[in-house]
Amino acid sequence: MTSPQPSDRSRNHLVPYPVVRHIVTVVEEGQTLTPEQRERVVAWLRANGADPAVVTLDTITLEYKMFGTKPGRQFIGFQQYYTEGGSRVHAAITDGAVKFQRYVEQSVELEPDPAWQGWEQHEAKQAEARAKNGGTEA
The average confidence (pLDDT) of the chain is: 88
- In tens, the pLDDT along 114-128 reads 888 888 888 888 899
Question: In 3D, which of 48, 58, 106, 107 has the Cα closest to residue 80?
Answer: 58
**Spatial separation of the C-alpha atoms in residues 64 and 75, rounded to whole Å:** 6
Taking a C-beta distance cutoff of 8 angstroms, is the pair 126, 138 a contact? yes
| pLDDT of 3 higher than 90 | no
Domain limits for position 64: 16-110
Q: Please report which confidence band the pLDDT of residue 136 belongs to, taking 50, 70 and 90 as the band edges.
A: low
Question: Coil, strand or helix: which one is 33?
Answer: coil
Q: What is the pTM of this model?
A: 0.75
Is residue 91 within 8 Å of residue 97, measured between CB atoms? yes
Between 11 and 42, the higher pLDDT residue: 42
Residue 5 lies in a domain: no
Q: Is residue 52 part of a domain?
A: yes
Does residue 50 lie in a domain region? yes
Domains contained in the chain, number:
1
